[in-house]
Chains A and B, each alone.
Chain A
Amino acid sequence: MVNVLGRGARWLLVAALPFMACPLIAPAADPVAGRNKAQVCAACHGTSGNSANPAVPSLAGQPAQFIATQLIMFREGNRKDPQMSPATANMTNTDIDDLAAYFSAQPLAPSARNTAPARAAAGRRLSEQYHCVSCHGTALKGQQHIPRLAGQQFEYLRTQLRGFKAGTRFDMDGNMTSAVQALPDTDVEILADYLAGMK
Chain B
Amino acid sequence: MQGQPPEMKGSTLAPIAPHLTGRPASGLPIDKLKVPKGFKAEVWADGVPEARSLTLGDKGTVFVSNRNLKDVYAIIDRGGKREVKKILKGLDVPNGVAFRQGTLYVAEKTRILAYAGIEDRLDNPPEPKVIIDGLPTQTGHFWKFIAFGPDGKLYFNIGAPGNIVMPGYIQGSISRFNLKTAKLEQYVYGVRNSVGFDWHPKTKQLWFTEHGRDWMGEDMPSDELNVVKRQGEHFGYPFCHQGDTLDPEFGKYRSCSEFTPPVLKLGAHIAPLGMRFYTGKMFPAEYQNNMFIAQHGSWNRTVKHGYNVIRVVVDANGKAKSEPFLEGFLTDPKANPPTWGRPVDVLVMRDGALLVSDDYNGIVYRISYKK
Contact = CB atoms under 8 A, between A and B. Distances in A.
Nearest to A174: B140
A28 B21 CA distance: 11
A71 to B, nearest CB: 9
Given A69-B20, A76-B69, A178 B2 contact: yes
Interface in B122-142: 138-142
Given A26-B23, A27-B24, A172-B17, A133 B2 contact: no
Contact of B12 (A76, A96, A134, A177): A134
Interface stretch (B3-11, B96-104, B111-119, B201-209): B3-11
A139 B141 CA distance: 29
Contacts of A120: none
B200 interface: no
B272 to A, nearest CB: 17
A134 B337 CA distance: 14
Nearest to A136: B14
Nearest to A66: B17
A134 B1 contact: yes
Contact of A135 (B10, B15, B19, B70): B15
A15 B68 CA distance: 27
Interface-centre pick from A24, A77, A171, A179 (highest chain B CB count, 10 A): A24
B336 interface: yes
Interface in A134-190: 134-135, 137-138, 143-146, 167, 171-175, 177-179, 181
A68 B140 contact: no
A134 B4 contact: yes
Interface residues of A, number: 37
A74 to B, nearest CB: 12
Contact of B21 (A96, A137, A179): A96
Nearest to A27: B24
B46 interface: yes
B256 interface: no
B214 to A, nearest CB: 10
Contacts of A129: 9
A124 B19 CA distance: 31
A129 B1 CA distance: 10
Nearest to A93: B21
A179 B46 contact: no
A167 B136 CA distance: 14
A72 interface: yes
Nearest to A142: B14
Contacts of A138: 10, 12
A72 B71 CA distance: 13
A193 interface: no
A128 B4 CA distance: 12
Contacts of B9: 128-129, 131, 133-134
B138 to A, nearest CB: 8
Contacts of A93: 21-22, 49
B261 interface: no
B14 A135 contact: yes
B162 interface: yes
Contacts of A69: 17, 20, 68
Contact of A179 (B2, B16, B336): B2
Contact of A133 (B12, B20, B70, B161): B12
B216 interface: no
A65 B23 CA distance: 12
B336 A143 contact: yes
B1 A175 contact: yes
Interface string B326-349: 000000000011000000000000
B14 A178 contact: no
A129 B86 CA distance: 44
B47 interface: yes
A133 B139 contact: no
A179 B163 CA distance: 11
A16 interface: no
A138 B13 CA distance: 11
A178 B139 contact: yes
Given A26-B23, A144-B337, A137 B12 contact: yes
B162 A174 contact: yes
B76 to A, nearest CB: 14
A128 B23 CA distance: 35
A25 interface: yes
Contacts of A65: 17, 19
Interface-centre pick from A25, A76, A129 (highest chain B CB count, 10 A): A25
Nearest to B138: A174
A128 B47 CA distance: 40
Interface of A: 24-28, 65, 68-69, 72, 76-77, 93-94, 96-97, 128-129, 131, 133-135, 137-138, 143-146, 167, 171-175, 177-179, 181
Given A134-B4, A174-B161, A177-B140, 5 more contacts: A28-B27, A76-B69, A93-B21, A133-B10, A175-B2
20 contacts: A26-B24, A65-B19, A68-B20, A69-B20, A93-B22, A93-B49, A94-B21, A128-B10, A131-B11, A134-B4, A144-B336, A146-B14, A174-B139, A174-B161, A175-B140, A177-B140, A178-B2, A178-B139, A179-B1, A181-B2
The 3 closest A-B pairs by CB, nearest first: A174-B140, A24-B47, A145-B17
